[in-house]
Amino acid sequence: MKTLRFLLLQTILLASVTCCDTNTWQSGNSHVQTVPAKVRYSDSYQPQEFADTNRLYKIINALPGIEQLCSDFADKYHLPGLVYGIVVDDSLVYAGGRGVIDIVSGNKVNSKSQFRIASLTKGFTALAILKLRDEGELNLADPAYKFLPELADLSYLTKDASPLTIQNLLSMTAGFPEDNPWGDRKLDITDRELEKLLDAGISFSSVPASRYEYSNLGYAILGKIISTVSGIPFQKYITREILQPLNMNNTCWEYSDVPADLLAQGYSWEDGEWISEPMPHDGAFASMGGLITSAEDFGKWVSFLLSAWPPRSGPETGPVRRSTLREMQKQGEAALYPDAKDSYGNPCPLTYGYGYGLVVVKWCNDQVWVMHTGGLPGFGSHYMFLPDYGIGIFSFANLTYAPTAQLNYEIKKVLFSGAGLSPRYLPCSEILAERGEQLLKLINTWDTVLEAEILADNFYLDQGRQERIGTTNRVLVTAGRIISVDPVLPENQLRGMIVMHGERARIELSFTLTPENVPKIQEMTLRLFRENQ
């Protein structure tokens, strides 16, 4: 079938802005989180930014290769229908689709087609819990039985086990066994059935907080906590407090609420043909995997998660603060994969850990991927975004456990190969640049007045003055006449490096400032490299 293309939205959108008081976060109810009155914020801080002003156009130029990739992928894996999207900063800049949402009607996939996204729902559930926390309605350290008394009589594996907490449920460290085959078939159970399940007790595979293990039951329990704390069903709370503020107006929980010409039907591929899968109704397990959404709507969610980066001043624009979104994306219990390889087959160890409703992967090359996979009978979904690059990719298919994660990795590879994307860079802070200039002057003059102004009291205690002067002079002599000096390359606001290019070698001069109100230089190191190194 011919690939369907649709370019969505304008490439540059003006984000809607809602203002918050600089000292108080109004939560929408009587609970308020306040910032101490004496807290101040820097007027000079410069957030990370992109140096490449043409990155959007480079991404658009890579789209033909992505279209072909997705078309071939759909054929290879017998996908009835596939929709995929690319988010850049605050916009869904591209969505593509292929195939049909229903093999009987033949309705084609488009950007408004609504797919069940399975476990991608967990991010919304996690955010709802964090929003209630921000509003003062609960704490992540609270034991779950505080809100669900039926959990007060659990039988733990050991006497020293700590009570199951909300944070354990969020981070998949509850101690429950992995339950995908079982949990996927519980989506539409009633509230009463969930209550009976909990009343009967829960079997633990490990002690809470001792290890990571993926649990759909844990997120079903979070949904029930949301309902208990908010006083309304979790579906209604998430819709009212998260979906509607993000204008995700075509995202819902019950498939019968979706127009027939937009609803993707689920299928399995068996013996060379598609077999229709029953569509479960909304139920008590929906908080772990029940949402139904479109590419247009989901692009708004990915854009919202990306909006957390970089940390910056300025008004908040979403249903929760940017700091709360960053908290979701913090890697939890991490596993090391030392034999991992990057997209090009090169060795690159990574750590893999669960945040709150999101998986966080950190690669050896400092790339961070935030993602989640979803799968239910009839559906497969996946999304990933790279905070440092401002890029998000997602795909949904109406085939049981379709390997959409694999597709997104391939899209990412084509996108980065074709566009040559670079991450944000950190501008140099005023104090770091000033101290860098002063340090360059110092190592050439060793002026005692300048020393008193810029060196911390530990500087000559860690290495004597004469020894420092001698070591520095030997490095300078070896490098030869300094031909050029690069600007300070910051690692953060108070640490950086200066590269000095000499006739015979280059010098990397690294320095760190103190945390004092007026930062001074506490450490300095010089490394010498021959120009062919």
Q: Which helix (H) or strand (E) holds 187?
A: none
Q: Give whole-number Cα distances, 474 to 73, 134, 482, in Å.
A: 60, 56, 14
Mean pLDDT of the chain: 92
What pLDDT shows up at residue 134?
97
CATH architecture of 4-118+292-311+324-419: 3-Layer(aba) Sandwich (3.40)
- Contact in structure between 51 and 425 (CB atoms under 8 Å): yes
User: Which residue from 138, 135, 154 is spatially nearest to 146, judged by alpha carbons?
Assistant: 138
Distance between CA 188 and CA 256 in Å, rounded? 13
Mean of the pLDDT values across residues 189-197? 96
Distance between CA 18 and CA 25 in Å, rounded? 12
User: The pTM is what?
Assistant: 0.90
Where do we find the tokens 């002067």?
Answer: 469
Mean of the pLDDT values across residues 291-303? 98
Q: Which helix (H) or strand (E) holds 262?
A: none
CB atoms under 10 Å from CB of 304, counted, come to 22
Mean of the pLDDT values across residues 107-121? 98
Low-confidence winner among 28-32, 40-44, 184-188, 465-469 (lowest mean pLDDT): 28-32
Using only the alpha carbons of the chain, give its radius of gyration: 27
Distance between CA 214 and CA 336 in Å, rounded? 17
Mean of the pLDDT values across residues 257-276? 97
Q: How confident is the model at residue 37 (pLDDT cuts 50, 70, 90)?
A: low
DSSP H helices, 171-209, are 180-183, 191-199
What pLDDT shows up at residue 345?
86
Cross-strand partners of 395: 84, 382
**Residue 533: is it exposed, middle or buried by C-beta count within 10 angstroms (0-12/13-18/19+)?**
exposed
**Tokens matching residue 427:** 């501008």
**Tokens matching residue 74:** 């759909």
Mean of the pLDDT values across residues 519-526? 97
Q: Percent of the chain having pLDDT more than 70?
A: 92
Mean of the pLDDT values across residues 405-428? 92
Report the amino acid identity of residue 82: L
Report the amino acid identity of residue 128: A
What pLDDT shows up at residue 7?
38
Q: How confident is the model at residue 533 (pLDDT cuts 50, 70, 90)?
A: low
What is the tens place of the pLDDT at every residue in 446-503?
A: 999 999 999 999 999 999 999 999 999 999 999 999 999 999 999 999 999 999 999 9
Where do we find the tokens 């899968």?
Answer: 277
**Is pLDDT at 27 greater than 60 in this prediction?**
no
Helices 216-230 and 122-134, axial angle in degrees (round to 10):
40
Q: How confident is the model at residue 531 (pLDDT cuts 50, 70, 90)?
A: low
**Is pLDDT at 323 greater than 90 in this prediction?**
yes
CB atoms under 10 Å from CB of 66, counted, come to 24
Residues with Cβ within 8 Å of 216's Cβ and at least 6 positions away in sequence, in order, are 119, 179, 180, 182, 183, 184, 186, 285, 288, 289
**Tokens matching residue 41:** 């914020």
- Residue 279 main-chain phi, psi, to 5 deg: -100, 110
Q: How confident is the model at residue 266 (pLDDT cuts 50, 70, 90)?
A: very high
What pLDDT shows up at residue 217?
98
* Chain centroid to CA 481: 47
CB atoms under 10 Å from CB of 106, counted, come to 8
Q: Which helix (H) or strand (E) holds 314?
A: none
Cis-peptide, bond into residue 310, ω within 30° of zero: yes
What is the tens place of the pLDDT at every residue in 158-181?
A: 999 999 999 999 999 999 999 999
- Contact in structure between 174 and 162 (CB atoms under 8 Å): no
HSE-up of 412 (CA within 13 Å, CB side)? 26
What pLDDT shows up at residue 28?
36
Distance between CA 469 and CA 132 in Å, rounded? 58
Q: How confident is the model at residue 344 (pLDDT cuts 50, 70, 90)?
A: confident
**Tokens matching residue 24:** 């108080």
Distance between CA 480 and CA 2 in Å, rounded? 64
- Residue 255 main-chain phi, psi, to 5 deg: -65, -25
Tell which phi-psi region holds residue 420, choosing left (phi > 0), alpha (psi between -120 and 50) or beta.
left
User: Which residue from 119, 108, 56 is spatially nearest to 83, judged by alpha carbons?
Assistant: 108
Mean of the pLDDT values across residues 363-390? 96
Mean of the pLDDT values across residues 420-432? 94
What is the tens place of the pLDDT at every residue in 224-247?
A: 999 999 999 999 999 999 999 999
User: Which residue from 433, 437, 371, 432 is spatially nearest to 407, judged by alpha carbons?
Assistant: 371
User: Which residue from 41, 40, 12 is spatially nearest to 313, judged by alpha carbons?
Assistant: 41
What pLDDT shows up at residue 420?
85
- Contact in structure between 95 and 5 (CB atoms under 8 Å): no
- Contact in structure between 463 and 525 (CB atoms under 8 Å): no
- Contact in structure between 201 and 235 (CB atoms under 8 Å): no
Residue spans of the domains in the chain: they are 4-118+292-311+324-419, 430-530
What pLDDT shows up at residue 34?
58
